[in-house]
Amino acid sequence: MLKPVETICKDYENHPIKNLVENGVEVTINTDDLLIFNSSIENEYLLLYKAGTLSADQLEEIRLRGLNGKRKGTVI
């Protein structure tokens, strides 16, 4: 699991998730604690999209994988 932006990098544009996704690594987007990090899961998706880090299609694929627990090459 990657930690929130504050602990990994200085901004969403340079977040390592982009390289992971582009190299076929299956990721999910999560938050640790809304009260401590002051960011909801919806906000994390929006920030990654607005920064141009991930496309809407990439974010949708990640969202669905997280909801379904589906991995590439598997049938659920």
> Is residue 29 a part of any domain in this protein?
yes
pLDDT the model gives residue 14? 86
> Is residue 73 a part of any domain in this protein?
no
**Structural domains of the chain, count:** 1
| 66/63: higher pLDDT | 63
How far is residue 74's CA from residue 10's CA, in Å, rounded to a whole number? Answer: 35
> Is residue 56 a part of any domain in this protein?
yes
> Is residue 3 a part of any domain in this protein?
no
Q: HSE (CB half, 13 Å, CA atoms) of 63?
A: 14
Among the ranges given (21-25, 52-56, 60-64, 70-74), the one the predictor scored with the smallest mean pLDDT = 70-74
Where in the sequence is the domain holding 31, given as residue range(s)? Answer: 8-68
pLDDT band of residue 76 (cuts 50, 70, 90) is very low
> Is residue 16 a part of any domain in this protein?
yes
* pLDDT tens digits for range 1-57: 555 555 556 788 888 899 999 999 999 888 877 787 788 889 889 999 999 999 999
pLDDT the model gives residue 11? 83
- DSSP class of residue 70 equals -
Instruction: Looking at 1-72, list the stretches that DSSP marks H as alpha helix, in order from N- to C-terminal side.
Output: 5-8, 17-22, 34-37, 41-50, 56-68
> Is residue 47 a part of any domain in this protein?
yes
Whether the CB-CB separation of 63 and 55 falls below 8 Å is answered with no
